[in-house]
Amino acid sequence: MRQTVLITAFLLLTKNAIAQKQHKPYDNIPVFFDEIKTASKQNTGLWNKDLYGPMLLVDPKTREIFANEPDTEGLLKLTGNVYSGILPDKINIANTAINWNGKRWAMIMLPLPQDKENRLNLLAHESFHSIQPSLGFTLSNAENNHLDQKDGRIYLRLEMEALKKAVQSSSEKEIHKHLTNALMFRKYRHSLYKNSNTTENLLELNEGIAEFTGAMFSGRSKAQMTQFLTSGIDEFLKNPTFVRSFAYHTTPVYGYLLHTKDKSWNRKISDTTDLTDYFVKAFRIKIPDGLKEAASNRADVYNGRVIIEEETEREEKTKKLIAEYTLKFIDQPHFEIKFEKMNISFDPRNIVPIEDKGTVYPNIRVTDKWGILTVENGALMSPNWDKISISNPTQTTDKKISGDGWTLELSNGYTIEKDQTSGNYKLKKPLK
């Protein structure tokens, strides 16, 4: 089964630049295109490649598109200096890269941040994704469910607190000390969870490197960059979960600090690079022996006692939430929908892993051959992403079905049926 997964980067720049409302949000779109075009020319050396290419700015409410060049199918029409049109309902709107109408586009949701540095950061991040394959980086958004576990969260939080101190430090000695502790907390976290180094690395090579690119394109001063990175971590730590969003804040700090020493470091890596080992070597870090003892001894430097107390309390609340989701989507009758050729978009900040049963996505939109599913009150994605489970329907018409916090718009020929034995619902394909 072919699957195209569009991971919505709703969190991108939310840390300090939730797109503020503009009085006339679309008047300046040609200016925005010129800004990223200029920044791309000025920063060509970062990747030895111009990031500026096909770009779609999309209003998520009206689905109106504003593009910097035409599509090959003629859907976009030139108005002034901008091409415009309406994005088809089957295409999910996301901050992402997308192959559509003959081209690979960077897609960004409107309105854009009013602050120029944050705007460039966002546009460059998604532009990187559009050229990512040509640089040899595969697109991967591996889940890191261990980062929803108590110890996983504790040692990620400790790593991030150390990174904040590193980027705020003025002396090389202090920077090195905090980087040593950050990577030590990371190494210890990896020792607790099998394959966690691999799954974390995949996300950092994808979203982490893209966000590093955005940060370097932003044009921020040293003081602005310090504020951006530290406040970004503070905002990130308020997220309900870290599973899919941590890389937006770890890699940019390591990358920025390493860029001050080696401006070409990012061109020396590939999609097979282990970034943890790369940073350890590049910063000349010596990881101490006895990781458990070292991590415990240095935790208090980074507010360790409070972090442990908070995560212990969170663990108890999470257990109750998982029990509720298990009852809703597994134990009691539910509606199971298998994928055929799906696209999805979702908010990665609030997902809830349920061990080997999958992951609950409180907000998700799925398009497939069978239609469009919009969920606002939770859905369980299977571990191998071949199906999704929602609560049983409460209202049904020919083509529109709804339940607790979800609606399903069916394509022609598709119907639903109830299994009288289990009480579960399922989709029926049209007869050929």
Q: Starting at the earlier edge strand, list the strands of the sheet with 77-79.
A: 77-79, 82-86, 64-67, 55-58, 103-109, 96-100
Alpha carbon distance 109, 422 (integer Å): 42
Alpha carbon distance 254, 182 (integer Å): 10
The mean pLDDT value for 358-371 works out to 96
CA dihedral sign of residues 147, 149, 151, 153: positive
Strands 77-79, 82-86: parallel, antiparallel or unpaired by DSSP?
A: antiparallel
- Candidates 211, 253, 219, 216; CA nearest to 233 is 253
222-226, 371-375, 428-432, range with the lowest pLDDT: 428-432
Residues 6+ apart with CB under 8 A from 16: 118, 228, 231, 232, 235
pLDDT at 237 > cutoff 80 = yes
pLDDT at 14 > cutoff 60 = no
The mean pLDDT value for 265-286 works out to 97
CB-based burial label for 136 (10 Å; 0-12, 13-18, 19+): exposed
pLDDT at 11 > cutoff 50 = no
The pLDDT value recorded for residue 10 is 41
The pLDDT value recorded for residue 142 is 77
Per-residue model confidence as pLDDT tens digits over 150-203: 999 999 999 999 999 999 999 999 999 999 999 999 999 999 999 999 999 999
25 band by pLDDT with thresholds 50, 70 and 90: low
The pLDDT value recorded for residue 152 is 98
C-alpha angle 214-198-350 in degrees, rounded to nearest 5: 60
Per-residue model confidence as pLDDT tens digits over 337-362: 999 999 999 988 889 999 889 999 99
Residue-averaged pLDDT of the chain: 93
Alpha carbon distance 263, 269 (integer Å): 13
Q: How far is CA 301 from CA 90, 159, 189, 279, 336, in A?
A: 50, 11, 17, 22, 48
Per-residue model confidence as pLDDT tens digits over 98-126: 999 999 999 999 999 999 999 999 999 99
In the chain, what percentage of residues exceed pLDDT 70? Answer: 94
89-93, 251-255, 279-283, range with the lowest pLDDT: 89-93
6 band by pLDDT with thresholds 50, 70 and 90: very low
**Long-range contacts from 68-75, C-beta under 8 angstroms, 24+ separation:** 68/33, 68/37, 69/103, 71/100, 71/101, 71/102, 71/103, 72/101, 72/102, 72/103, 73/101, 73/102, 75/101
Ramachandran region of residue 298, left (φ > 0), alpha (ψ -120 to 50) or beta? alpha
Alpha carbon distance 12, 9 (integer Å): 5
The pLDDT value recorded for residue 140 is 77
CA dihedral sign of residues 254, 259, 262, 267: positive
The pLDDT value recorded for residue 357 is 93
Q: How far is CA 413 from CA 2, 370, 406, in A?
A: 21, 9, 21
Question: 341-366 b/e with 16+ CB inside 10 Å = b?
Answer: ebbbbbbbbbbbbbeebbbbbbbbbb
The mean pLDDT value for 22-32 works out to 75
Helices 222-236 and 150-168, packing angle to 10 deg: 160
Alpha carbon distance 82, 97 (integer Å): 19
pLDDT at 223 > cutoff 80 = yes
